[in-house]
Structure 1
Amino acid sequence: MPKSLHALLKPGAMLVAMGAGAALPDMHNVLVIRYCLMAMLFIMFLQIRFNDVNLQRGHLRILALNFAMGIVPFLLLTGIKQNNLALAAFWTGIAPTATAAPVVMGFLGGKVSFVLSGFVLTNALIPLSLPLLLVALSGHFSWSHFLPSLWNIIQLIGMPLCLACIIRLVQPQSVAFAKRLKGLSFALWVIMLFYIAADASHFIRSQDDAGSLASFLAIAAVSFVICVLNFLLGYAVGGKGLRRESSQTLGQKNTSLTIYLALIYANPLAALGPTFYVFWHNAWNALQLYLHARKNNNDTTTA
């Protein structure tokens, strides 16, 4: 298969899944999304080498920005009474670092251990802080809401993590085996996108709102702006020698996690924010990889 065609397979599959889901709103099912996400997290935890984690001061700056990119847009948009847009912005900006971010950094010839450490830090602290953060942003505290939210997130992340740790203790070579499951992870992600689109389509149709298309486009635009700011701010705070790494750590997001949580704690429109982000950050990754390959080719030709 030609490389150009092969490069289009994944984005094509994502678009087809979303289009099919949008056309079949009655297929909406949040439970399927939950189980797909837990399976993806299990595969991810199975292949992480925690010995490579080395936290630095730069990781704390990235963590602070990660929180800010969720909270600040939310406050600004709620201030002008754009509540659905504010929720979409929050769930887009608050997403922790993506599983694939260290892999992409490896392709770019950067410091993989820095991005891996950022991934572990943000994926450990941000999800666990969300129940308290949601209470703070809503302005209403209730143990009856806080504790179930916390327990739900602990189950969502803790069960795959514990299972992965047990398997790694019993079968250490499972780390190498997990790396061969990238195809399965992507298949699960495509299934998730189908049900996410179906959920969003069902929600939009149930609103009977002529402004739904405008809301859809506004969420796409806000998601794009947040994506651009994430990569730029990450680059700015990276300091000498770690600009690309910081940019990738802040910019490439674990959207599958926040898409599911947005469906549970907000609504399908809010989940569209991180869904659009998938396309924005992957478009930037594709451009980075193209520019990096072209630079290497030019260097080889010159040599």
Structure 2
Amino acid sequence: MVDYLNHVILQQFKNWMLPIAMIVGGVFYPFVSSLSFLTPYLIFLMLLVPYCKLSFDDMRITRLHVILLGIQILGSLALFGIIALFDPLLAQGTFICVMAPTATSAAVITGMLGGNIAMLATYTLLSNLTVATLSPLVFSLIGSQTALPFFESFGIVCRQMIPLLILPFVIAVLLKRFAPRIHRQLRERQQISFYLWAVALTIVMGNTVAFLMKQDASNYVNEIWMALLALAVCCAQFLAGRRIGRRYRNKIAGAQGLGQKNTILAIWMAQTYLTPIASVGPAAYVIWQNLINSYQLWAKRHREQVLPKKEPVKTPIGLPGTPVIHPQR
């Protein structure tokens, strides 16, 4: 009985862990934001665990990758052109929420939701490299600040991406080759990523609230509009990625690949290339994408608890009033 109660309490705690993490990060942001230096290490460990399921043979560029990449790049430019007709500042804040590459932690949520980690990992790599390559050209055309030299921009993005995205995969391969016991333990304990993600989410929320609190009070109207547009864009990207991914039997990876953004990198790009206040867009996007992910994880766990595994129904044969079911030949 005690074990059953402990199991129920643990499941309920998991269901509400991410919303609790967001609330704790927002309320205690002065202290939590000081722990931001831990974020890269947490993401590194979060990726190492699901990457233990991958192999080089699993990583292939597909038509779905090309479609999602086209939406990310061309869609962001089209959206900027439309909104800029009304308000260039709002256009910049919304544009960066679409242009931003896929978050390296998206593979963690994809794995937790039962999606294709290999497909998402491949797209994350393509997304980050494409943005690193095109951002100097794009921002020099639409930005309001002097763009950094191409190789300097490329180097900054790569320094953020490679340690977080490539090294965990390399270490997972090395563990499989030289330490199979450790590799097997990590492969069989995928829930570790969930707890690491909760800690990382607390820190990210603390950083987001601290950033918003530092903004000038005169910009509140623009900030609210940017936050609302970020919400609309966030929902649209998750929905579009899910619908497109469903056509290729990768609805979860499609939604996460298009919807979950590297908001830390997006904020840096906005502050570097665009009007600094435009960074409020990706800062608000942090909240929206994590609310969506929290709901999806809660819904998945709720379905697993409510819907028991179906067992074959045994029909008694030969009793009066019961049909006789013959086995298929």
Shorter-chain TM-score range: 0.7 to 0.9
Q: Residue 137 of structure 1: CA displacement? A: 2.2
Q: 1:5 aligns with which of 6, 9, 12?
A: 12
Q: Does residue 279 of structure 1 match 2:291? A: yes
Q: In the TM superposition, what whole-angstrom CA distance separates every residue of 1:185-213 from its partner, at most 9, and x where no partner exists?
A: 23332332333233233333332324447
| 1:109 equivalent in structure 2 | none
Contact 2:72 2:98 in 1 (8 A): no
Q: Residue 77 of structure 1: CA displacement? A: 4.3
| 1:205 equivalent in structure 2 | 213
The amino acid across from 1:274 in the alignment is V
| 1:15 equivalent in structure 2 | 22
| 2:110 equivalent in structure 1 | 101
The amino acid across from 1:34 in the alignment is P
Cα distance change, pair 160–78 in 1 and its aligned pair in 2 (3 A): farther
Percent identity for Structure 1 against Structure 2 = 14
| 1:247 equivalent in structure 2 | 251
Q: In the TM superposition, what whole-angstrom CA distance separates every residue of 1:29-76 from its partner, at most 9, and x where no partner exists?
A: 543222222222233323324444565434432343344455544554
Q: How many residues align?
A: 289
Quick one: distance in 2 between partners of 1:126 and 1:203?
26
Cα distance change, pair 91–199 in 1 and its aligned pair in 2 (3 A): farther
Contact 2:120 2:253 in 1 (8 A): yes
Quick one: distance in 1 between partners of 2:111 and 2:154?
33
| 1:46 equivalent in structure 2 | 52
The amino acid across from 1:18 in the alignment is G
Cα distance change, pair 260–204 in 1 and its aligned pair in 2 (3 A): closer
Matches within 5 A, 1:225-244: 225-238=232-245, 242-243=246-247
Q: Residue 138 of structure 1: CA displacement? A: 0.8
Q: In the TM superposition, what whole-angstrom CA distance separates every residue of 1:125-173 from its partner, at most 9, and x where no partner exists?
A: 1112222232122114614532432441333323333333222221234
Contact 1:168 1:175 in 2 (8 A): yes
Quick one: distance in 2 between partners of 1:243 and 1:165?
31
Quick one: distance in 1 between partners of 2:213 and 2:287?
18
Q: Residue 175 of structure 1: CA displacement? A: 3.6
Cα distance change, pair 52–5 in 1 and its aligned pair in 2 (3 A): same
Quick one: distance in 2 between partners of 1:103 and 1:234?
17
Q: Residue 21 of structure 1: CA displacement? A: 4.1
Q: Does residue 142 of structure 1 match 2:149? A: yes
Quick one: distance in 1 between partners of 2:84 and 2:35?
29
Quick one: distance in 1 between partners of 2:250 and 2:168?
27
Taking structure 1 as the reference length, the TM-score comes to: 0.73
Contact 2:55 2:173 in 1 (8 A): no
Give unpaired runs (5+ residues) of structure 1: 106-111
Aligned CA RMSD, in angstroms, stands at 4.0
Q: Residue 232 of structure 1: CA displacement? A: 3.7
Taking structure 2 as the reference length, the TM-score comes to: 0.68
